[in-house]
Amino acid sequence: MYKGFEVKGFIEDFINSNIKISVLYYGTASASYHLWFLTALIWSIFILFIFIKINKLKYLLFSSFILNVIGLFGQTYSGIFHLSINTIDALFFGLFYTTTGCFIAYHIDFFKRFFIKGNMLFIAGLFLVSTLMQMLESYITVIWWNGTKGGIAYYLSPIPQTFTLFILIIKNKEFGKNTIFSLLGKNSLGIYLVHLIFINIAYYGIHFLNVTDFRKHFIFNLLLAVIILLISLQVTIFLQAFVSKIIKRFKRLFSGKGFFPSHKSLV
């Protein structure tokens, strides 16, 4: 009996000292902090999978929307009431958008009919209005209500903004095809992953050259953003080509056509 309690105590001590729930849920706070969305996406998909299996997707859509609204009080609406937990996560932020996308996919025929019937000017107007709403919402919540206690990561207005943008893209599939915009969209994930490296290089370079006053000028910041974007794009394309070559090399290696001869060539 004593040995049993001893083992139990050892396991509890090991879990408490080595396994941190916050790390499993939020990820580690390191140089890759901008990848917070990755753990949020993983947990969102996990929760979504469970609700799909039990055929309760519509309930998840409703509850995730409520959680998204509640999470605002941990962000930009903290000036009204401060929810003192991190709401940039799967439960409050990622789950709603992931569930919404899944819900649309499950009812794509209905939404396609809705998209086709929708007037382009009306939808574009809704997108413009929702964009202006976000600017106004940002000003009111952050400036007037001092909603910076928790963070300023997300708002309520991106919900209609995202939906109307999605409709516009569906109705205009050929828009931007074979342009820089489609190239950026195709490589957006890679750009997001590597851009922070070049932001840091630019930051240290500006301080090393003692030209920090340039950061006060809009044109300089705009050019800097474009340069970082284009460099990140080129690096992403290079890395993709490099990884593709490595994969092909391994395929040749294991297929017997590369470094090692095949069985037939030995006969």
Of the pLDDT bands very low, low, confident and very high (cuts 50, 70, 90), residue 184 is confident
* Pair 89, 122 in one domain: yes
Return the half-sphere exposure (C-beta side, CA atoms, 13 A cut-off) of residue 201: 11
Q: How does DSSP classify residue 258?
A: S
* Pair 146, 194 in one domain: no
Q: What percent of the chain has pLDDT over 90?
A: 27
Instruction: Give the tens place of pLDDT for each residue, 120-151.
Output: 788 888 889 988 998 898 888 888 888 777 66
* Pair 229, 113 in one domain: no
Of 155, 173, 191, which one is at a domain's C-terminal end?
173
The domain in which residue 41 lies consists of 1-173
Distance between CA atoms of 25 and 10, rounded to whole angstroms? 24
* Pair 18, 86 in one domain: yes
* Pair 210, 146 in one domain: no
Q: How many CB atoms lie within 10 A of CB 151?
A: 14
Of 140, 173, 206, which one is at a domain's C-terminal end?
173
Residues 6+ apart with CB under 8 A from 83: 70, 71, 73, 74, 150
Distance between CA atoms of 100 and 21, rounded to whole angstroms? 27
* Pair 143, 212 in one domain: no
Angle in degrees, 0-180, between the axes of helices 218-255 and 188-208, rounded to the nearest 10: 130
* Pair 139, 15 in one domain: yes
* Pair 248, 217 in one domain: yes
Res. 190: pLDDT tops 50: yes
Q: Number of structural domains, the chain?
A: 2
Give residue 121's Cα distance to chain centre.
29
Distance between CA atoms of 155 and 112, rounded to whole angstroms? 27
Instruction: Give the tens place of pLDDT for each residue, 73-128.
Output: 988 888 888 888 888 888 999 999 999 989 988 888 887 777 666 677 888 888 89
Of the pLDDT bands very low, low, confident and very high (cuts 50, 70, 90), residue 264 is very low
Of the pLDDT bands very low, low, confident and very high (cuts 50, 70, 90), residue 22 is low
Of the pLDDT bands very low, low, confident and very high (cuts 50, 70, 90), residue 33 is low
Distance between CA atoms of 262 and 267, rounded to whole angstroms? 9
Of 144, 173, 202, which one is at a domain's C-terminal end?
173
* Pair 190, 236 in one domain: yes
* Pair 30, 143 in one domain: yes
Distance between CA atoms of 32 and 93, rounded to whole angstroms? 19
Mean pLDDT of the chain: 81
Instruction: Summarize the confidence of residues 27-46 as an average pLDDT.
Output: 75
* Pair 201, 136 in one domain: no
Residues 6+ apart with CB under 8 A from 12: none
* Pair 154, 125 in one domain: yes
Tokens of 188: 């957006």
Instruction: Summarize the confidence of residues 153-179 as an average pLDDT.
Output: 80
